[in-house]
Amino acid sequence: MPLRIDILTTFPELFDPALPGGVLNASIPARARAAGLVDWHATNLRNFTNGRHQKTDDRPFGGGPGMVMMCQPVYDAVLAVEASDPRPATRILLTPQGRLLDQRLAEDLATKPRLLLIAGHYEGLDERVVDKLAPLEVSIGDYVLSGGELGAMVLMDAVIRLLPGALGHEESAAQDSFSVAQSYSGHPQTPRRDRIVVPPSTRLLDCPHYTQPREWMGMAVPDVLLSGDHGAIERWRLEQRLARTRERRPDLLPPSGEMAGR
């Protein structure tokens, strides 16, 4: 069964699989969809409005600028879309006030059968429909977007590339930044001092990568990568991941002391 993703939005055309240049219609998400690993459907919130004017928003009580998305269209759309498939959907509201999207959350969402993403606009949703639907509130970063559509696409891309089979077999998410790193233990004869112990569940940045040519503008590729020694290469890559993480994102590392011997 493919992962099913529903998006509730006032701009469903942005998710149209036939949209030329649509950001999800290229590269890994498009391949994953073609391979039957994921399927997504965008639903227009305007189809669930009552009035003649297909209004999804109104002026805020209490005054002030901007518009607020009304409860009823959002609520009706969620129930109708959920009823179109028996699999339970994880409800997610894109909002700058939500839990920050990170790799761990993306990994968790990639195990679900079905996601339902609600993209807000203007000032966001009437708080009462948020209370009623109790979605998981997710932010893609500490800045404000004009609408939840880009947030939904970012979340979708991050999740889809983690679906088993989405990356070609030479590619793998296992070494990507923010994935959990494995210790390097070498082979049974590898001396203890050459092993690298990474505490369980430690997420590291990726190592640097190089390709042809071997020399470019006087800059060489690290020798170890040309050595053909797979153990040495694996060890070097892990060292680089640790060094980069220490330098750029020490907040990802366990408190010092647990990284014994490194």
Active-site positions? 96, 123, 161, 176
Nearer to ligand SAH, 56 or 202 (CB): 56
Nearer to ligand SAH, 73 or 151 (CB): 151
Nearer to ligand SAH, 75 or 221 (CB): 75
Q: Does 73 bind ligand SAH (CB under 6 A)?
A: no
Kindly state the smallest distance separating residue 7's Cβ from ligand SAH, in Å. Answer: 11
Find the binding residues for ligand SAH in span 29-58 (CB under 6 A): none
Find the binding residues for ligand SAH in span 132-151 (CB under 6 A): 139-141, 143-145, 147-148, 151
Which residue's beta carbon is nearest to the bound ligand SAH?
120
Distance CA 7, CA 150 (A): 11
Q: Which of 115, 118, 120 lies closest to 105, judged by CA?
A: 115
Kindly state the smallest distance separating residue 122's Cβ from ligand SAH, in Å. Answer: 6
Find the binding residues for ligand SAH in span 105-134 (CB under 6 A): 119-121, 123-124
Annotate 43-59 with b (16+ C-beta within 10 A) or e (fewer).
bbbeebbeeeeeebbee
- Residue 107: alpha-carbon gap to chain centroid: 8
Calculate the alpha carbon distances from 82 to 6, 28, 144 in Å: 9, 26, 28
3-state secondary structure 155-178: HHHHHHCCCCCCCCCCCCHHHCCC
- Interface ranges with ligand SAH (CB under 6 A): 94-97, 119-121, 123-124, 139-141, 143-145, 147-148, 151
